A and B are shown apart, each in its own frame.
Chain A
Amino acid sequence: DADVTQTPRNRITKTGKRIMLECSQTKGHDRMYWYRQDPGLGLRLIYYSFDVKDINKGEISDGYSVSRQAQAKFSLSLESAIPNQTALYFCATSDRPLSSGRAVGSYNEQFFGPGTRLTVL
Chain B
Amino acid sequence: QKEVEQNSGPLSVPEGAIASLNCTYSDRGSQSFFWYRQYSGKSPELIMSIYSNGDKEDGRFTAQLNKASQYVSLLIRDSQPSDSATYLCAVTLRSNDYKLSFGAGTTVTVRA
Q: Give the interface of A toward B (CB within 8 A).
A: 33, 40-43, 45, 48, 88, 90, 103-106, 108-115, 117
Contact = CB atoms under 8 A, between A and B. Distances in A.
Given A45-B99, A105-B51, A109-B46, 5 more contacts: A105-B31, A106-B32, A108-B31, A109-B49, A112-B43
Interface string B31-58: 1101000000111111001010000000
12 contacts: A33-B99, A40-B104, A88-B41, A90-B43, A105-B49, A106-B51, A108-B34, A110-B34, A112-B43, A112-B44, A115-B42, A115-B43
Contacts, number: 52
B57 to A, nearest CB: 16
Interface of B: 31-32, 34, 41-46, 49, 51, 88, 90, 92, 98-100, 102-105
A86 B32 CA distance: 31
B43 A108 contact: no
Given A106-B49, A108-B34, A48 B43 contact: no
| Main SS at interface, chain A | mixed
Contacts of A113: 43
Interface centre among A42, A104, A112, A114 (most CB of B within 10 A): A42
Nearest to A40: B104
Nearest to B105: A42
Contact of B51 (A33, A43, A103): A103
Contact of A108 (B32, B44, B102): B32
A90 B49 contact: no
Nearest to A105: B32
Across the A-B interface, give the 8 residue pairs with the lowest CB-CB distance, nearest first: A105-B32, A112-B43, A108-B32, A42-B104, A105-B51, A43-B102, A108-B92, A105-B31
Given A105-B31, A105-B51, A110 B100 contact: yes
Interface centre among B49, B90, B92, B100 (most CB of A within 10 A): B100
